[in-house]
Structure 1
Amino acid sequence: MPYFAAGVARGADGWTAAEVDLGGVADLDEVADRLRDVEPDAELSLLFVEADDTYLAILRLDDGEDLRIFGSDSAFAEESRLGALLIGDVKAAPSEAETAETADTRSGDDDDERPVADPDADPVGDADLLADLGVPAQRLLALCAREGMLPADVTAEVCQAIGCGDEVEELREA
């Protein structure tokens, strides 16, 4: 399964981005080590892993510790070794945020204009991992569920919102 992994790290001089090679990683600790290598002294590091134009996993390290994980769909763990490694043990569904998002999409006069979410998608992990950066759980879940949104689109929108969009875009173009 083809993938793109972009590591972004926020340090004293702003955001740094680098493509992260996840080939041959054996466990999450090794993934975290590769993310730390993007900027060893970073106060915040994020890893966006897009797989097969279908799945997105986001990993977050604060001060190089406390790994938090979000996956757009639990099926990623069943579809590939990388998915199993990244989100296979992550089962905590973002139920509160999902409930709030469902309520938001069912109320209002513009229901017919909203895209239909993929009923088979089963987000897992900490959907609130970017809330302090301006992307609350509801928004992240809505982006992942929006019809026609590829993982690359979600990554681009999230990165623009948190201030590292140009750095990630440069990685894609390289």
Structure 2
Amino acid sequence: MGRGPRPDPATALDTRTLREAFGCFPSGVTAVCGMADGRPTGMAVSSFTSVSLEPPLVSVCLQLSSRTWPRLRESPRLGLSVLGEEQGSVCRALAGPEEERFAEVGWESDDGAVFLHGAVTWYSCTLRAEVPAGDHSIALLQIDRLWTRPASEPLVFHGSRFRRLENHGRAAEPAA
């Protein structure tokens, strides 16, 4: 492995520096949605990860200051939609005013979970646990059902921008 210059050392461990460092790691964008008071409610998160195959578990991290999560956590089912590469506008809508988030977004509901049209994958989940983690809460969700479109490309968030995966015609190395 080649050795290049070391990254510049951080002079202070502050919020701006941490946000910049965390932004160096690309992530997908997932919508967490459910029905609340008879209306679709949801938000976008970039901290979604698989946890376990048996039982099937995933997690998302949610800011404690969120006004949406307290309403979503009461839903018997939550829909997680992994956004597709053309859904940057959907992500921006989910970050906007709550009453306008679903105005231009195609969605459907199944047993209280809300799923967004055009997503790469839908997970129907049940909240199993929440773990306090600094200024966030980690929600552990059990997958009850899923639908996937494996040929579709996900929306990627990196460096505070939406990006696309690029295929240069090379076969990917198999995972170990």
TM-score band, normalised by shorter chain: under 0.3
Tell me which protein shows more strand as a share of its residues: 2
After TM superposition, the score normalised by the length of structure 2 is: 0.23
Structure (1 or 2) with the larger CA radius of gyration: 2
Q: Which structure's relative contact order is higher, taking Cα pairs within 8 Å and 6+ residues apart? A: 2
Tell me which protein shows more helix as a share of its residues: 1
After TM superposition, the score normalised by the length of structure 1 is: 0.23
